[in-house]
C-alpha cells in the first residue's frame, strides 16, 4: 500500500509546476501584441508542447542577447581619475 505522503507530495509538486508554468506564460504574453497573443493562445490550446518550446526558445534568445544589449545601451562616462589627471598634466 502507498503511504498517504506520496500522493500528497505529487499534488504539491504538480501545483508548483502549474504555478511556474503560468508565471512563465504570463511573462511571455506580456511581450506580445494583441494579434500575437490571440495566435499564441490558439496554439496553446491545440499544441501544448509547441508553446512550451516557444517560451523556452524566447527565454534562450533573451538570455543570449541580454549582455550585449546592456553593454551597448550603457553610455560610457569619461570620469577623470586623479592619477590620469596627474599624468596628463591637468
Q: What is the pLDDT of residues 28-86, one digit of tens each?
A: 888 888 888 888 888 778 877 777 777 777 778 777 776 655 555 555 555 555 555 55
Does residue 82 belong to any structural domain of this protein? no
CA contacts within 13 A on the Cβ side of 19: 6
Contact 24, 55 (CB under 8 A): yes
Grid coordinates representing 57 are 526558445
Cα(51)–Cα(44) distance, integer angstroms? 6
Task: Tell me whether residue 41 is in a domain.
Answer: yes
Residue ranges making up the domain that contains 47: 1-65
Length of the chain in terms of residues written: 90
Cell 541580454, residue located: 66
Domain count within the chain: 1
Domain membership flag for residue 87:
no
Residue 27: inside a domain = yes
Whole-model pTM: value is: 0.48
Question: Helix H segments across the chain?
Answer: 5-29, 34-46, 48-73, 82-88
Amino acid at each position: 500500500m502507498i503511504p498517504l505522503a506520496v500522493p500528497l507530495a505529487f499534488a504539491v509538486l504538480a501545483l508548483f509546476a502549474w504555478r511556474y508554468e503560468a508565471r512563465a506564460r504570463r511573462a511571455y504574453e506580456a511581450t506580445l501584441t494583441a494579434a500575437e497573443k490571440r495566435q499564441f493562445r490558439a496554439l496553446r490550446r491545440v499544441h501544448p508542447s509547441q508553446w512550451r518550446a516557444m517560451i523556452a526558445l524566447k527565454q534562450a534568445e533573451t538570455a543570449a542577447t541580454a549582455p550585449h544589449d546592456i553593454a551597448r545601451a550603457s553610455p560610457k562616462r569619461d570620469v577623470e581619475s586623479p592619477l590620469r589627471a596627474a599624468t596628463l598634466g591637468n
